[in-house]
Structure 1
């Protein structure tokens, strides 16, 4: 069920999209207007931004707040996850204190700066040798499983969680539990308990990682440290797994695109930008609410109006990307909004680029004859969460 008071109508997100083939309704909306009405689950009527220029304007304008976080109505159901369960007072305080997705202005900047060092382009590049080794190990696991193996379960998800743990500083002896809690899902209390163990370990054995940096930051409370780590553990990791699996589907659906990369793997870094544009995960990013009247294009958004940016639609805007519904690994797709933009743009996007580069480079180098057996990406599926995003799905491949 959608949880919307309006049922299915033209002011709800369409439910007939797939990750490589967005609903035709988005193209219709883009043709009609840059901003179209959108219903929210609490009964509020706001607007959806469909075009690239206007989407970028909203994401970079500080007059749009992250609060309140209204979720849009969608025709697609929301995938049922692990029930969150009760959470102790320390965990509740942590999630209130360290969730940078819920802050604006100076409070947001202070928390974001506490983690950006380990996610900078320079830092991501220092991790490349270890990331390449992780990718190589998981590729052997995939190959050993034989033709018909699930690329999501054996390759994309393990790469994403292992790199995430590496950068955050989750100790090796906690890795299996970390993967269980954050890939397969666990009640909130279990997730927080594990993070507390990870923090306690780094107090005794600090390293070059996010947890150690946060513990050395005298400006942060214990609650903020735990909350930041929980937010980082819940965000970004799933995006990388989704992009590896979905991007592989997109490439194999157009074998000529895959062949181009097998012939010249040095094209992969630029191709990653096109892959994430074409396979954008966010039907809408976290909503913003106007704190004053703001003119976007030729429309004035009144104060208090909630605005959702459709990254999927903006990245298919023919005004910015000619022939946008065609995957073209030769396209210059820089400037896409797959990682958001502005002050709330994805903090881990440079790390994600390195992961995707290594993951796709390994595939096209070792498995030039790879082909798609089957995938659930070819049909509409439940959304991963109310924000609303696509969910990663199994991808069976052969070679």
Structure 2
């Protein structure tokens, strides 16, 4: 199939989480795959159609290596201070001890394929199953209630807050730590190291401290499982590093972005207040229309592969766009509209295939409960300003949206 684009494209920067760049739709309308420029001058492809995206993400003939990142318009990239699902972080110029380097190499889920990747992944997925998540439901509910109490300082008076920093981030970090096995007293240190810039060595020093605590005090968590498994200490620490670096930022982003979507369409927020059972489906619509990844980590063909009439030659790198695929009108009617009544199951907001998001069931619980309690607590909650309604720098070289500050008010705050 021919493509109308002869020159390689660059990722657009003029989109926002809930209003992607029109360039994405233009690419999707034009062809199943469009030439895309990467930072090493490789010319690969970007896929924005739903069926082609699913096919690539589930095809074992595509490898996670090499790690090359697509070029964005302007050739400017912010520092990699935010981590994303199944993220990889390579040793930088800061000193890093040999065991930590070995851990990163051994358990780098983005540099592993096939059976090796499956073994590593199986070592950590047990605590994120549907059954395990159900056992966390009561705890998550209490933790969210506690955060709402802190948000209002125990007052029923009017107030104003940043929902991202003061609500979404603390909830996501605390729940993430519970599943991994970080003791409560170390959660603040976790947030310092894994939500703010920090050296890799400081992160590994923290991981070893947490693992040592769990050795003497096992629990119902990932670290306890790893210590009881056949994984070496190097592999276990590497997997803990992967988990600590990934997932919590995505959940915080989604809570914030879902809040923006609902408060921008208050009739849909009210519909959930009137019938909270709508929330289960609404979470899927949040994921569909507010996907964090403009493009997922790229895949490279290990042999010639034909997808939707496009031949991807061996060695050619492909970037899949959940933002584009999730708004494909061939998959969903009124695909650009946010509608909590829609059946949005099958979206690619959590990725797809062997590298899909490990913690997606826990994420669903956190988002659902955070939105439910927020709307229940504040019947007059209103959006003051959301940075994400304006284009922001990408949060990661792989091109993910930032949540930004989400300022809200309730009660009489700001009224005249």
Which TM-score band applies after superposition, normalised by the shorter structure? over 0.9
Partner of 2:146: 137
Whole-Å Cα distance in 2 between the matches of residues 97 and 152 of structure 1?
A: 34
Once the two structures are TM-superposed, the CA of residue 81 in structure 1 deviates from its matched residue by 5.0
Candidates 344, 349, 358, aligned match of 2:355: 344
Aligned 1:300-319 pairs, distance under 5 A: 300-319=311-330
Partner of 1:160: 172
Partner of 1:3: none
Partner of 2:413: none
Partner of 1:4: none
Whole-Å Cα distance in 2 between the matches of residues 97 and 81 of structure 1?
A: 21
- The answer for unaligned runs of 5 or more in structure 2 is 1-6, 82-91, 411-416
Aligned 1:1-399 pairs, distance under 5 A: 11-75=9-73, 77-80=76-79, 85-144=94-153, 147-218=159-230, 220-399=231-410
Once the two structures are TM-superposed, the CA of residue 177 in structure 1 deviates from its matched residue by 0.5
Report if the CA contact (8 A) 2:257-2:403 is conserved. yes
3-state SS of 2:319 partner: strand
Whole-Å Cα distance in 2 between the matches of residues 101 and 269 of structure 1?
A: 30
Once the two structures are TM-superposed, the CA of residue 324 in structure 1 deviates from its matched residue by 1.4
Question: 54-63 or 82-91: which moved more?
Answer: 82-91
* CA distance 1:10–1:143, shift in 2 (3 Å): farther
Once the two structures are TM-superposed, the CA of residue 280 in structure 1 deviates from its matched residue by 0.2
Q: Deviations over 1:143-195 (max 9, x none)?
A: 23852211111110000000000000001121110111111231111111101
3-state SS of 1:148 partner: strand
Whole-Å Cα distance in 1 between the matches of residues 93 and 328 of structure 2?
A: 37
Whole-Å Cα distance in 2 between the matches of residues 350 and 258 of structure 1?
A: 23
Whole-Å Cα distance in 2 between the matches of residues 194 and 119 of structure 1?
A: 23
Q: What TM-score does the superposition give when structure 2 sets the normalisation length?
A: 0.92
- The answer for unaligned runs of 5 or more in structure 1 is 1-8
Report if the CA contact (8 A) 2:11-2:70 is conserved. yes
Whole-Å Cα distance in 2 between the matches of residues 281 and 63 of structure 1?
A: 26
Whole-Å Cα distance in 1 between the matches of residues 79 and 407 of structure 2?
A: 23
Which aligned runs of 4 or more in structure 1 are off by greater than 6 angstroms?
none
3-state SS of 2:196 partner: helix
Once the two structures are TM-superposed, the CA of residue 285 in structure 1 deviates from its matched residue by 0.5
Report if the CA contact (8 A) 2:299-2:317 is conserved. yes
Whole-Å Cα distance in 1 between the matches of residues 313 and 105 of structure 2?
A: 28
3-state SS of 1:185 partner: coil
Q: Deviations over 1:238-270 (max 9, x none)?
A: 000000001101111111111111111121111
* CA distance 1:170–1:106, shift in 2 (3 Å): same
Q: What is the root-mean-square deviation of aligned Cα atoms in Å?
A: 1.3
Whole-Å Cα distance in 1 between the matches of residues 8 and 272 of structure 2?
A: 40
Q: What TM-score does the superposition give when structure 1 sets the normalisation length?
A: 0.95
Whole-Å Cα distance in 2 between the matches of residues 147 and 23 of structure 1?
A: 34
Report if the CA contact (8 A) 1:118-1:167 is conserved. yes
3-state SS of 1:373 partner: strand
Once the two structures are TM-superposed, the CA of residue 369 in structure 1 deviates from its matched residue by 1.6
